[in-house]
Amino acid sequence: MKTIHIKGENMSRLNLMIWSAFVLILQSGCIGGGSTPTPVINTGGETTQKVGIGIEKGKIENYPTSVQGLYYYGQVVIEPQLTMEALKGPEAQTFLSHISNLLGEEKRNFGLSATPIIDGKVQPDIVLFNYSYNSSTKEWVTYLNEEPRTRMVLLKPDTTLSFELKYISVDGKTFNSIKDITKDLYGATVLVSGVSIPYVDLITEKISNMLSSAVSSTTVLSFNPVSNPKKSVKYFIKTKANKKLANVKFSLLLRDSVVSGAVVNSELNKIPQVNNFTNPLNAVYTSYTNAFTLNDQLQKDESIVTFSQINNPMQFRDKCQNIINRLETYGLNLFDRYNAFSQILEGTNFLRKENLYHSGCLSSSRLALLNRMGIPLKAPQSAHQHIEISDSHLTNLGGYMLNPIANKGFKSDLLKLFSETLIVQSDELMDFETFRSEDGEALMSPENFMEMIGEVGVARFGLYNQQRKEYASFFFRALQSDTIYRIKLNRERKWGKIRTVLIEPWSDDEIAPKKQAQLRTLADETVLGYENDVMRQNNEPVIALNG
């Protein structure tokens, strides 16, 4: 498994640029590096020992296994904890001197913020804690942002959640203002790749201006959930004398739905059980400034409203794929996307009309996924139809394949044998890319199928095989090849219409030599394109048939 390293560097000789055009050598370090305090700067006529501030990386926890991409949302919870260990007694004044040097003259506040960067997009800063010096009592007053968190984001294979840590200097009022702004922003269930991005940009800029005196540290934390199952990282903020100012823990929470709690280790990468009465779209807001949800927005969308009016199977299938793709653009994961879509389908005839159910709107694998999630979508019960497929029907289909122009009169009767949507499998003789579903099957109307089968160019056919209740088949040779193929017509149920057509090359070992010879005889002159028969072009001898 690939290991992703955190970009935290030793800060023992860290140069920090101060915007006032002065350069201060911040003699601090990762305390674990064993550096010793460096004495002496002259501040206010007193000789003091410089404190220095360092960020030390602590314990890292990992999930027990890798995380499946597109299954989960990620949300990072930050847990800052303060300690007054470094700011007791005379050290309070010493620390103040260092803050003045680090952040500028007259600065009497020190804290830490984290800037989330999700897939390269900078999010508004989250203030974590702040120390404010009270000149009257000569003591430090603390401010804490308890368990702030980022917004949720869909975890794709390449998703990265990074954090840049910054030293900040704001008063208590400003700290609380920023805390309240980000609480409203990050507290809402709004996906990062979803809505109101311009609003987020405005908040990012506003908070950045409020933290104008911040100084970046070199500590950058990154979560790459799919490639590296890191669960949490802890940091210690210390003085150079190895005394703590704060501990900060970053923990990645995984959610399999916007309406569920965090996933525990034992449930990782399992198909969740969902409540189809709880629509995920109601938990996603379209704006930070109003209470409208994504469900409210889509209820007014013309393409959703008119969805229920579509009864043509192929148009219905295309609309299904369009809506599913749109739901993905809102940042919904696999489970929420299909849960929400199943509820949109309730407003249509999908579960009432067999032709729409079998249109290819939902593939068999997606229906199985919904069933495993606890949302079974069962096919509608239809009136029993007894469809007879006779040898004459097979003869007419074969004749149509030989010459679709001369035998076009067979077409209308043949179309009655097929379901309104066909699944056709044939990788060699037909180009089905236009009709491919998400599972790779070619889904088409009977009219499309008849048009394409008429373009194959067939030289000979025969050898009917009737399993009258389940399927029918025959063999043929295409003009372009001496390979023998079987076309198998599978019913959707016993005595039902043809639902699946399979065209596959057939082994000579399974066909009697005499029958092989019949299929490899030159095409008759009544066959459309007979002059292009590969047997004729190659001057291959034709086996004489006896009887």
pLDDT tens for each residue of 409-437: 999 999 989 988 888 888 777 776 667 66
pLDDT for 121: 87
> Exposed (0-12), middle (13-18) or buried (19+): which is 39, by Cβ within 10 Å?
exposed
| CA–CA distance, 240 with 173 (Å, rounded to integer) | 29
Give tens-digit pLDDT for 210-232: 998 888 888 899 999 999 999 99
Given the structure tokens 């509820």, which residue do they identify? 343
Predicted TM-score of the model (pTM): 0.68
| CA–CA distance, 237 with 154 (Å, rounded to integer) | 31
* DSSP secondary structure code for residue 409 in this structure: G
Cβ atoms of 455 and 466 closer than 8 Å: no
pLDDT for 191: 64
Give tens-digit pLDDT for 98-124: 787 777 767 888 999 999 998 888 999
291 versus 195: the higher-pLDDT residue is 291
| CA–CA distance, 57 with 32 (Å, rounded to integer) | 9
Percent share of the chain, pLDDT over 70: 83
pLDDT for 461: 93
pLDDT for 438: 61
- For the chain, domains (ranges, CATH) are 14-266 (no CATH), 280-372 (no CATH), 391-537 (3.10.450.50)
- Is residue 92 predicted with pLDDT exceeding 90? no
- Is residue 398 predicted with pLDDT exceeding 80? yes
Cβ atoms of 110 and 130 closer than 8 Å: yes
Give tens-digit pLDDT for 68-88: 898 999 999 999 999 877 777
pLDDT for 2: 34
pLDDT for 388: 84
pLDDT for 283: 81
- Is residue 13 predicted with pLDDT exceeding 90? no
pLDDT for 134: 84
| CA–CA distance, 103 with 112 (Å, rounded to integer) | 12
- Is residue 91 predicted with pLDDT exceeding 90? no
Mean pLDDT of 177-192: 78
Total residue length of the chain = 547
Among 72-76, 92-96, 400-404, 520-524, which stretch is predicted with the lowest mean pLDDT? 92-96
CB within 8 Å of 98: residues ≥ 6 apart = 50, 51, 52, 53
What are the angstrom distances between the C-alpha of 54 and each of 96, 108, 243? 16, 19, 10
| CA–CA distance, 407 with 135 (Å, rounded to integer) | 101
Give tens-digit pLDDT for 480-531: 888 999 999 998 878 888 989 999 999 888 888 888 889 999 999 999 999 9
pLDDT for 28: 33
- Is residue 179 predicted with pLDDT exceeding 70? yes
Give tens-digit pLDDT for 52-62: 688 999 999 99
Mean pLDDT value across the chain: 81
pLDDT for 468: 67
Give tens-digit pLDDT for 283-331: 887 776 677 788 888 888 888 989 999 999 989 999 999 999 999 888 8
